[in-house]
Amino acid sequence: MSKLLRWAATTIFLALLGLAVLERQDLSPTSQPLFNEMVEFHGPLKVGQSFVASRSGLCRVALLLARKGRTNRSPVVFHLREGAEATADLATATISASHLEDVTTMVRRPYVYQSFSFPPIPDSVEKTFYFWVESPQSPADDPLLARYQAGNVYPEGTMSIDDAAISGDLAFKVYYAKGFPDNATLLLERLVEHRPFPWNSKAFYVAIFVVYLMLFADLMHKL
């Protein structure tokens, strides 16, 4: 009986550890990851994008922003509204341009997403939102950059420059306040996407996880 209890305790511990890790996974079910162009923004210029939230609890938007050199440390201001026609901000957030990727140096961590976080919006699911970024203190000779993909690659939304729609979509990721159930479901969806049998079955990965827990628990018990 004592061996069975130790085995059960070890298995439960590993399962809880796995749940804790999954709880913190940085998964985004709404995104447009492609980019082949960069657009400059500075002073009064602003760059924006509309999108449709796929879940409730919208709480963060991440963009591929950059700067030319290390001198620009101006504030970068993010605005979020419910649709491009809305006149009031739902949320704002500010970061320093010093945190952005520097495209002029070879020693860098390229394509770094910069996140703008705000309190969760509980009823965001299936609603259209519009965000834009601006840097009023950035001079024209030291602008900031936003990566985007030319063409209509994200049909649910539209990119804009100074509120004028253009043919393109910003590279962005949208995040939602969620716990283990949503993260586990999303992770399984990513694992089975575009895979042949049996790797296209969620049950396959669940079975692997269970077998792994049992084998590891048995190994720990024998040590």
Mean pLDDT within 199-208: 73
The last residue of one of the domains, among 176, 198, 214, is 176
Q: Beta strand pairing status for 168-170 and 128-134? A: unpaired
Q: Do the beta carbons of residue 49 and residue 169 sit within 8 Å? A: yes
CATH code assigned at 158:
2.60.120
SS3 of 71, please?
Answer: coil
| Domain co-membership, 119 together with 139 | yes
The last residue of one of the domains, among 138, 154, 176, is 176
- pLDDT at site 221: 66
| Domain co-membership, 101 together with 36 | yes
- pLDDT at site 96: 93
- pLDDT at site 69: 78
Name the band, by pLDDT with cuts 50, 70 and 90, for residue 212: confident
Name the band, by pLDDT with cuts 50, 70 and 90, for residue 109: low
Strand ranges in 7-163 using DSSP code E only, listed in sequence order: 30-32, 37-41, 46-52, 58-67, 75-81, 91-96, 101-102, 113-121, 128-134, 144-150, 159-161
| Domain co-membership, 191 together with 167 | no
Amino acid in position 27 = L
| Domain co-membership, 10 together with 92 | no
The overall average pLDDT reported for the chain is 82
- pLDDT at site 83: 85
- What is the C-alpha separation between 40 and 49, in angstroms, rounded? 15
- pLDDT at site 24: 45
Percent of the chain surpassing pLDDT 90: 50
- pLDDT at site 23: 44
| Domain co-membership, 7 together with 62 | no
| Domain co-membership, 149 together with 134 | yes
| Domain co-membership, 58 together with 161 | yes
- What is the C-alpha separation between 17 and 149, in angstroms, rounded? 39
Q: Does the structure show a pLDDT above 90 at 25?
A: no
Q: What is the pLDDT of residues 38-81, one digit of tens each?
A: 999 999 999 999 999 998 899 999 999 999 877 889 999 999 99
Domain, as residue range, for 154: 30-176
| Domain co-membership, 190 together with 141 | no
The owner of tokens 């796929």 is 54
Q: What is the pLDDT of residues 123-171, one digit of tens each?
A: 999 999 999 999 999 999 999 999 999 999 999 999 999 999 999 999 9
pTM metric for this prediction? 0.70
Name the band, by pLDDT with cuts 50, 70 and 90, for residue 192: low
SS3 of 39, please?
Answer: strand
Name the band, by pLDDT with cuts 50, 70 and 90, for residue 20: very low
| Domain co-membership, 51 together with 106 | yes
Name the band, by pLDDT with cuts 50, 70 and 90, for residue 19: very low
| Domain co-membership, 101 together with 17 | no
Identify whether 198 is preceded by a cis peptide bond (ω within 30 of 0). yes
| Domain co-membership, 208 together with 140 | no
Contacts of residue 188, defined as CB under 8 A and 6 or more positions apart, other chains included, come to 202, 205, 206
SS3 of 9, please?
Answer: helix
Q: Do the beta carbons of residue 60 and residue 117 sit within 8 Å? A: yes
Question: Bridge partners of 18?
Answer: none
| Domain co-membership, 213 together with 165 | no
Count: domains in the chain: 2
